[in-house]
Amino acid sequence: ITIINDIIDELEQDFLLQLNSTDSAVVLSPQSATVSIMDDDVSTISLQQANYSITEETNASLLVCIIINAPVQFTVTATIITSDITATAGADYDNINRTIVFPAMSDTR
């Protein structure tokens, strides 16, 4: 039985293996087995870039792209937060603490 490798991060997958007789042989127990395929793919998420610059002006907003490295069979969530370095939340930028949801099989958010 050949297991097909893919690049999708997925949950454990199972299939049933059964032994059946087509002649007069008696099939003894166990005549079936569950085979579990353990996934070896790992998903990672990251910001698209390490540094951003934006000019302070009326209604300026920063678009940030978050990337997941490979399609994932299930929903992935991450939290994006801001914290002060030399700029001050509320005075220089709007503080955020948001949950980002990557639906199954998506790659950017």
**Pairing mode, strands 66-68 and 45-47:** antiparallel
Residue 40 corresponds to which tokens in the numbers above?
């070896």
| Tens digits of residue pLDDT in 51-101 | 998 888 878 888 888 888 877 888 888 899 999 999 999 898 999 999 988
Structure tokens, 91: 């005075």
Q: Two tokens at 96?
A: 């955020």
* Alpha carbon distance 49, 64 (integer Å): 9
CB 72 within 8 A of CB 102: yes
Find out whether 94 and 60 touch, Cβ atoms under 8 Å. Answer: no
pLDDT tens digit sequence for 17-35: 998 887 888 888 888 899 9
